[in-house]
Amino acid sequence: MKKKIVVENTLTPYIEHLRSLGYDVYTLYKNSNLENITSDEYKAIVVSGLDVLSTSGATHNKPPAPIIEVKGRTPEEIHSIIENKHI
């Protein structure tokens, strides 16, 4: 079974890296579909910055998956964080 993850659509290197590792990557378009992520089937939500969430008009009380910010991190580092958060 593939691992599902949500990644902001502008983070192409992260999307490609995670797909190459077997992840089923769903894209987040300007966080407008953040409220559609309602189940815990996703391992993480990867965004460019947490500030993007607050300025995009996205409404979310408690996302069902951890939100990981990529600022200053490589795709490999993000993968490591995802794997260490959820085993």
Confidence of residue 6 (pLDDT cuts 50, 70, 90): very high
Residue-level pLDDT at 31: 62
Give the whole-angstrom CA distance, residue 13 versus residue 55. 23
* Each residue's pLDDT tens digit, 56-65: 444 455 667 8
| This model's pTM is above 0.85 | no
Spacing of C-alpha 3 from chain mean position: 12
Provide mean pLDDT across the span 11-38. 86
Rg (CA), the chain: 12
Give the whole-angstrom CA distance, residue 24 versus residue 2. 6
